[in-house]
Amino acid sequence: CAEELRNDREVVLQAIRGWGMALGLVSPASAAGRRLRADKEVVLEAVRRDWRTLDLADEALRSDKELALEAIAQSWEAIQFVSEELRTDREVLLAALEQNGEALRYAGEAMKADPELVAKAEARGWGFVAEGQERIIQCQASRPPNDISPPSSGQPYE
């Protein structure tokens, strides 16, 4: 009986309206569960409640731009759950980069080299050091690992 309820579309939708992560109670091992995780209306309802439910969606729905943008509107971190295809979509990337430059690390390779996206990411705090760049990050081994205070001299760590 409990398994039947977990696979009943209306019961699942009602549960999701109360707690988005209820989608996680739908088993991907059963055919009915897979259908529910592939049902755009069910997943969209869950994503509207909690962006992390995009990770529970059927793989095909992770390529759905509407779902991706809905999740990213809540948190840029949702970009880690979108398909590779959407990680090369400028609109999706810009939506994530508006919140945090770190989103660029999830972008497709070609997009990581896009000057506009790199500039947006850097404006939002992302620092990317690539071979050939002159930027140098220095650390002082004598400081505790969690100490991020500047050196007393005000100069970069040596």
Helix 65-74, helix 90-97: angle, nearest 10: 10
**What are 8's two structure tokens?**
């009943």
| Residue type at position 29 | A
Cβ burial of 71 (10 Å; 0-12, 13-18, 19+) is: buried
| Cα distances (Å, whole numbers) of residue 105 to 57, 96, 109, 120 | 22, 11, 9, 13
Task: Kindly report which listed range (8-22, 96-110, 132-146) carries the lowest average pLDDT score.
Answer: 132-146
Residue 134: the pLDDT is: 52
- Please give the full DSSP string across 40-96, using - where no structure is assigned: HHHHHHHHHH-GGGGGGS-GGGGG-HHHHHHHHHH-GGGGGGS-TTGGG-HHHHHHH
**Token pair belonging to 32:** 């009915």
pLDDT in tens, 129-157: 444 445 444 434 444 444 444 455 555 44
CA separation for the pair 126, 138 (Å, rounded): 17
13 within 8 A of 42, measured Cβ to Cβ: yes
Q: 158 pLDDT exceeds 70?
A: no
Answering whether pTM is above 0.85, one says no
Mean pLDDT within 31-54: 98
pLDDT, residue 146, reads 47
